[in-house]
Structure 1
Amino acid sequence: MNDDAPHREAVGTLLRHVLEMLDGDVAAVYAERGLGDYRPRFSPPLRALVTDGPLPIRDLARRVGVTHSAASQTVAQMARAGLVELTPGPDARQRVVHLSARARDLLPVVEAEWAATTAAMRELDTELPAPLADVLHAVLAAVARRPLRRRIADAGLPPPPSTP
């Protein structure tokens, strides 16, 4: 590991560092193709909208596997980039997300990047002790079975002081 990498036990920092490196390289690929305003975080919602058609933000969040708040923020960024349009939903509190004409025009480039990134990740996986996605899914399953908060308590951290 290089000297600029986070400490081995700083797992949260290490995960963010890996994500920044991967996302940074994908963002550079888009910028090289004249899509400097396209962010890697746009791809999961865009793919869901391509597959499922227009979706309320809460359904899009569920489909992508993020919180409603995270989906709302991403959709707002995508709307500013001209990739999606929002219309009122059947419920006054809902907004439905639609692909814009610009997003449809960009689909050939974006789909080519998706395919190339998938191939590049498969190649990267050959250099790792286990495929990255498999490890991440295993982590999610493990913390779903026994949350890190519980593991921290079981590791001996005293309980917080009780408040009167």
Structure 2
Amino acid sequence: MTNPSATIDKQAAYLGVPWEDAYGYAQAIKVGNTIRVSGQLSHDDQGKLIAPAALDAHGRPADFSTMEAQMRATYANAAKVLAQYGASLDNVVEETLYVLDVDAAFAVASKVRGEAYDVARPMVASNLIGVSRLAFPEQIIEITFTALLPET
């Protein structure tokens, strides 16, 4: 039996953070002119979480006051991944925000998204989804992206 994925020309992008090997994934995959960006979060170049949420006695976020800082850093990391393909947030056509607190995300999303996309109303299909947990206990937001490059 032929492996159908063997015929697809995939290009992977990485940021060099520890969980790429630990979990075994790429930050993004480009096929043709489409870039699918894996869930991005607010980490620095070494993989240390930026603006981690304080945890309660049960190891869950105690408050969501760092949502804006985490969201801003998450968009910055997505921009780094897209740049590996010669793309930017201007190429994004869809995003999905996974958040632990929808109200906290909604309160800052317009401001942060406006800054990230450099326009008050980004031309991006956007989904905001509340979830019960993300990969790291101190993480309160994760965003996936789909971007398109011009046809060649």
Question: Is TM > 0.5 for Structure 1 vs Structure 2?
Answer: no
TM-score of the two chains, using structure 2 as the length reference: 0.26
Higher relative contact order (CA 8 A, sep 6+): 2
Larger Rg: 1
Q: Which has the higher helix share?
A: 1
TM-score of the two chains, using structure 1 as the length reference: 0.25
Q: Which has the higher strand share?
A: 2
